[in-house]
């Protein structure tokens, strides 16, 4: 999905009758951007969100660490009644989703990947290079490299790792001076390279869309796959049986700062009224 100032993704045209229960997890606050897209497409679903903020950032961890946290979060959401899991984290998708699918072969998973394909497909010859902002782990992953090799062709792509940016968002907030200072540092190479399209390769980064435009200019096109993820979840949700635990609603858990999550949720137009404590270790699904 391209992020356009002042607009929102259109809701899905088909409603889901059975009020499915969808679990969503991220290393912290970034997945709220995906949760918002899911709610637009599936307003009648029961949506569960787990923010693993105490263990963020995933993007500077090794694969084994990310896989273990992803397993624990999946077990937790299953214990709450989730029928489908959305991995709303680029790093966890890159490093862990294959292992999750192998451990739960009958459970539908939806992951998220940087929007390289649409960024390059829509690029004209006169356009500048495509920039990618992502975590170090995402850029180094085999999954991302394969994606780039498949769709990159002869196009020039500028890859920019953003170490420390997710941690700043999680601990200080998207608008904190330290967060914006880091963001400017990471955006300047893309500006200097003349990038006209920028792929937001971490779910935290759409929270900084206005600040990115302040550095790169209003003409830059920012691409975020959140609505494509929500569309895939909507398709899979049609095959889910009715959920017996209740109708539509939002519930969030976090092992980080609840007040910051609520502020970011409000900015994403998510009516989350309270945040429950996310256990450090997650129970087996009932």
Q: Using one digit for the tens of pLDDT, what is the confidence trace for 49-76?
A: 999 999 999 998 999 999 999 999 999 9
- Residue 162 annotated to the active site: no
Q: Is the pLDDT of residue 4 over 90?
A: no
Indicate the pTM of the whole model.
0.87
CA torsion sign for 264, 270, 271, 272 is negative
Rounded to whole angstroms, the Cα distance separating 219 from 196 reads 7
Helix-then-strand count for the chain, H and E: 11, 11
Share of the chain above pLDDT 70, in %: 88
Q: Is the pLDDT of residue 13 over 50?
A: no
Tell me what the mean pLDDT of segment 262-284 comes to: 86
Query: Of 21, 162, 195, 202, which residue is the catalytic one?
Result: 202
Which residues are CB-neighbours of 244 under 8 A, at least 6 positions away?
A: none
Q: Choose among 98, 93, 99: nearest CA to 26.
A: 93
Q: Is the pLDDT of residue 244 over 60?
A: no
Average pLDDT, the chain: 89
Bridge partners of residue 285, in order along the sequence: none
- Residue 195 annotated to the active site: no
Q: How far apart are the first and last CA of the chain?
A: 36
The predicted structure's pLDDT at residue 284: 47
The predicted structure's pLDDT at residue 266: 95
Q: Is the pLDDT of residue 140 over 60?
A: yes
The predicted structure's pLDDT at residue 125: 60
The predicted structure's pLDDT at residue 17: 45
Which residues are CB-neighbours of 45 under 8 A, at least 6 positions away?
A: 16, 19, 20, 21, 22, 38, 39, 237, 248
> pLDDT tens across 246-255, in order?
667 999 999 9
* The pair of three-digit structure tokens given for residue 195, joined into one six-digit string: 């990038």
Name the pairing type of β-strands 197-201 and 46-51: unpaired
Q: Which domains does the chain have, with CATH numbers?
A: 17-112+226-277 (3.40.50.1860), 116-223 (3.40.50.1860)
Q: Is the pLDDT of residue 285 over 90?
A: no
Q: Is the pLDDT of residue 18 over 90?
A: no
The predicted structure's pLDDT at residue 3: 44
The predicted structure's pLDDT at residue 28: 96
Q: Where are the alpha helices (DSSP H) in 22-154?
A: 32-41, 63-79, 90-103, 116-121, 136-140, 142-152
More reliable by pLDDT, 246 or 178: 178
More reliable by pLDDT, 237 or 244: 237
> pLDDT tens across 116-136, in order?
988 888 766 667 899 999 999
Q: Cis omega before residue 71 (within 30°)?
A: no
Q: Crossing angle, helix 90-103 and helix 142-152, to 10 degrees?
A: 110
More reliable by pLDDT, 131 or 152: 131
Tell me what the mean pLDDT of segment 260-270 comes to: 96
Q: Choose among 78, 69, 70: nearest CA to 23.
A: 78
Rounded to whole angstroms, the Cα distance separating 46 from 249 reads 5
Bridge partners of residue 277, in order along the sequence: 254
Which residues are CB-neighbours of 101 under 8 A, at least 6 positions away?
A: 107, 109
Rounded to whole angstroms, the Cα distance separating 74 from 89 reads 13
For the stretch 74-106, what's the b/e string if a residue is b when 16 or more beta carbons lie within 10 angstroms of its beta carbon?
Answer: bbbbbebbbbbbbbbbbbbbbbbbebbeeebee
Rounded to whole angstroms, the Cα distance separating 194 from 211 reads 17
Q: Sorting pLDDT into bands at 50, 70 and 90, what band is 9? A: very low
Query: Of 89, 162, 187, 195, which residue is the catalytic one?
Result: 89
Q: What is the enclosing helix (H) or strand (E) of 285?
A: none
164 burial level (CB within 10 Å; 0-12, 13-18, 19+): middle
Rounded to whole angstroms, the Cα distance separating 169 from 2 reads 22
The predicted structure's pLDDT at residue 134: 96
The predicted structure's pLDDT at residue 7: 33
């Amino acid at each position: 999905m391209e992020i356009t100032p002042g607009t929102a993704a259109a809701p899905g045209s088909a409603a889901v009758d059975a009020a499915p229960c969808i679990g969503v997890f991220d290393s912290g606050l970034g997945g709220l951007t995906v949760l918002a897209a899911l709610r637009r497409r599936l307003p009648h679903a029961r949506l569960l969100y787990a923010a693993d903020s105490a263990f963020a950032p995933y993007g500077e961890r090794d694969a084994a660490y990310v896989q273990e946290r992803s397993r624990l979060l999946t077990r937790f959401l299953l214990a709450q009644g989730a029928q489908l899991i959305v991995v709303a984290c680029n790093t966890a998708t890159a490093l862990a989703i294959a292992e999750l699918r192998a451990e739960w072969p009958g459970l539908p998973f939806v992951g998220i990947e940087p929007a390289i394909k649409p960024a390059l497909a829509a690029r004209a010859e006169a356009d500048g290079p495509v920039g990618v902002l992502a975590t170090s782990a995402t850029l180094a992953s085999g999954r991302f490299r394969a994606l780039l090799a498949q769709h990159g062709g002869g196009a020039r792509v500028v890859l920019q790792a953003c170490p420390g940016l997710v941690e700043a968002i999680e601990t200080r907030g998207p608008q904190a001076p330290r967060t914006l200072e880091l963001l400017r540092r990471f955006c300047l190479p893309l500006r200097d390279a003349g990038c006209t399209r920028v792929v937001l390769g971490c779910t935290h980064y759409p929270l900084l869309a206005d600040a990115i435009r302040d550095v790169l200019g209003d003409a830059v096109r920012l691409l975020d796959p959140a609505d494509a993820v929500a569309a895939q979840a909507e398709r899979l949700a049609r095959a889910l049986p009715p959920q017996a635990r209740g109708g539509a609603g939002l519930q969030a858990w976090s092992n980080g700062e609840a007040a910051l999550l609520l502020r970011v949720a409000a900015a994403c137009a998510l009516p989350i009224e309270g945040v429950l404590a996310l256990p450090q270790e997650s129970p087996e699904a009932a």
